[in-house]
């Protein structure tokens, strides 16, 4: 059963590890051990065994170990464990690491992994394939998790039902950090929020997370335009790019793997539009473009801001606030984010609405959710 309290336990784990290690301890070992405990917490035992073994094996791979010891950013927010998993799974999928069959071949349900053999295999691969692995470490992860777009749909459904001036308006969706753009196709998916189902109930992909809290009204959502940007966009029509998306999924995440397979199939018939570019420059250009009267412009991002530098984030904030001051009831602007909070203790779904009303520009946490959208605890757009 999914644990809605997992984020609280996540904070406790962070505190325990902070207390257990001195300031000069190996932060790489510490991070992979913490990630292993988090995987166990989220019912991913094979992933937990992989990350636990990496915490030992990496100390036997001098080049990779030294690079991560001197990593300029935060190992957690930069998702280094995800990058390394992507590299290892890509090596296995390309038949360059058959010895990892014990992890990537068994998938979910296997719990009899020989730790000693796994550590030895990982250490050998981390040494022999250091250049290949470093190339994966160079770039942010590209999970493009479609489960998160339930949060986007929930906010838009609520706006369509009771969003003041935006009620019943068609939406123009602008996504930052789109990867392959699979979330831009959200209107082609069926989405269940508790007892309510919206968008495309006959879709090949039905997203049905555990729903906690207030109900969301099942209201039709009209998407007039959906476009995104990414510094390194992926093309869902290219086999190598599809393989890359698959490689980032944890070995025992079969549900996510199936969601991705179905989303990619939909994208092959309806290719999303993702432009290559700098997020801050792109969003500024989009926001200064004329907005049609009677439409609602939406800026959406999910697990993207942690990979964007501080200067770019500040530029994005300025562009949104400048555009928000020009918004009005007939041309509202909405920002929807699905990101970790500052302590990385919980994933928040946030909404900011600019419509020239008395609460224009106020931000609100409308939900907490699982990092991959397996559950949502919905609070609502308003207090009533």
The model's pTM: 0.88
Confidence of residue 273 (pLDDT cuts 50, 70, 90): very high
Angle between helices 6-20 and 27-41 (to 10 degrees): 150
Contact at 8 Å (CB) between 350 and 364? yes
Looking at per-residue pLDDT, the higher value among 143 and 277 belongs to 277
Residue 101, Cβ neighbours under 10 Å: how many? 11
Half-sphere exposure of 96 (CA within 13 A, CB side): 14
The predicted structure's pLDDT at residue 6: 43
With b for 16 or more beta-carbon neighbours within 10 A and e for fewer, the 180-192 pattern comes to: bbbbbbbbbbbbb
pLDDT at 3 over 50: no
Q: Say whether 281 sits in a helix, a strand or coil.
A: helix
Burial of 52 (0-12, 13-18, 19+ CB in 10 A): buried
Q: Which of 98, 86, 99, 101 is nearest to 132 (CA)?
A: 86
pLDDT digits (tens, 9 = 90+) for 18-55: 333 333 359 999 999 999 999 998 888 999 999 999 99
Contact at 8 Å (CB) between 125 and 110? no
Please compute the mean of the pLDDT values over residues 288-313 and round it to a whole number. 95
Q: Say whether 206 sits in a helix, a strand or coil.
A: strand
The predicted structure's pLDDT at residue 7: 41
Contact at 8 Å (CB) between 116 and 104? no
The predicted structure's pLDDT at residue 22: 34
Confidence of residue 171 (pLDDT cuts 50, 70, 90): very high
Token pair, residue 293, equals: 């009267």
Cβ-based neighbours of 382, under 8 Å, separated by 6 or more? 162
The whole-angstrom separation of Cα 34 and Cα 288 is 43
pLDDT digits (tens, 9 = 90+) for 331-369: 999 999 999 998 888 999 999 999 999 999 999 999 999
């Amino acid at each position: 059963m999914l644990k809605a309290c997992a984020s609280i336990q996540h904070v406790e784990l962070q505190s325990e590890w902070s207390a257990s290690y001195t300031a000069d301890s190996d932060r790489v070992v510490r991070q992979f051990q913490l990630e292993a405990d988090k995987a166990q917490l989220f019912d991913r035992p094979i992933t937990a065994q992989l990350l636990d073994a990496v915490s030992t094996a990496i100390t036997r791979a001098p080049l990779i170990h030294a690079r991560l010891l001197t990593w300029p950013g935060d190992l957690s927010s930069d998702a280094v464990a995800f990058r390394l998993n992507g590299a290892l799974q890509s090596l296995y999928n390309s038949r360059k690491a058959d010895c990892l069959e014990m992890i990537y071949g068994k998938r979910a349900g296997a719990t009899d992994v020989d730790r000693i053999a796994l550590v030895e295999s990982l250490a050998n691969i981390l040494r022999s394939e250091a250049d290949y692995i470093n190339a994966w470490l160079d770039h942010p992860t590209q999970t493009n998790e479609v489960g998160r777009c339930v949060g986007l749909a929930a906010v838009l459904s609520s706006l369509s039902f009771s969003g003041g001036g935006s009620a019943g308006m068609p939406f123009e969706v602008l996504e930052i950090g789109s990867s392959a753009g699979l979330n831009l196709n959200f209107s082609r998916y069926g989405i269940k929020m508790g007892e309510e189902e919206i968008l495309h109930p006959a879709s090949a992909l039905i997203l049905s997370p555990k729903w906690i809290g207030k109900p969301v009204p099942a209201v039709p959502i009209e998407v007039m335009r959906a476009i995104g940007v990414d510094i390194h966009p992926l093309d869902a029509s290219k086999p190598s790019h599809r393989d890359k998306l698959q490689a980032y999924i944890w070995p025992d995440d079969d549900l996510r793997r199936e969601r991705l397979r179905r989303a990619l199939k939909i994208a092959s018939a309806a290719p999303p539009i993702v432009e290559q570019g700098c997020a801050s420059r792109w969003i500024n250009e989009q926001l200064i473009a004329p907005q049609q009267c009677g439409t609602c412009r939406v800026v959406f991002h999910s697990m993207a801001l942690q990979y964007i530098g501080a200067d770019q984030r500040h530029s994005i904030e300025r562009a949104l606030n400048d555009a928000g001051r020009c918004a009005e009831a007939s041309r509202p602007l909405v920002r929807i984010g699905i990101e970790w909070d500052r302590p990385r203790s919980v994933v928040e779904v946030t909404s900011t609405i600019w419509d020239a009303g008395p609460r224009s520009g106020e931000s609100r946490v409308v939900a907490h959710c699982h990092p991959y959208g397996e559950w949502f605890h919905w609070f609502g757009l308003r207090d009533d």
